[in-house]
Amino acid sequence: MEHYGVYGVWLQNGLVVAIRKARGPYTGMLDLPGGSPELGETAIDTLERELREECGVTSVHVTSWHAFDFHVDRSSSGEPIQFHHTGLIALVAVQDEVKSVQDVEDVKDVELIDPTQHSVEKFTPAFSYALSLLAPDADG
């Protein structure tokens, strides 16, 4: 399975904005808000639409883009899969407060988390990579 997506990462009140996946190979895991481009959308169009749909935010400013390419061989339930996940992660500045959005597309819930209080096994590869981008000593 191949999947291309555009995602955003930012802090709200010192916590990382995350979504809990409702379906797919990452069911139950913490992931980034975002998703697949619709026909004719640019990366920024996709990012703005997805963050509005999944987190209720409308004021988004991209500070940097970061490409990723992951091969996943196990689903969140441990089943063997062949999942190739590529895309872009944007470090963003968001003026709006995240709204409680539940059961939208493949999003079970939106959460504000302290990543040090969660098991990394519950993070998608893209989420783990994004956390490294937020680190104070991260390049870029």
Domains of the chain and CATH, by start: 2-114 (3.90.79.10)
- Say what the pLDDT of residue 104 is: 76
Q: Which residue has the tokens 């990382």?
A: 16
- Asked if residue 72 lies in contact with residue 25, where contact means CB atoms within 8 angstroms, the answer is yes
- Say what the pLDDT of residue 102 is: 62
Comparing CA positions, the residue from 107, 99, 115 lying closest to residue 15 is 115
Mean pLDDT score of the chain? 91
When pLDDT is cut at 50, 70 and 90, the band that residue 119 belongs to is: confident
Comparing CA positions, the residue from 93, 86, 87 lying closest to residue 71 is 86
- Say what the pLDDT of residue 66 is: 97
Indicate the pTM of the whole model: 0.91
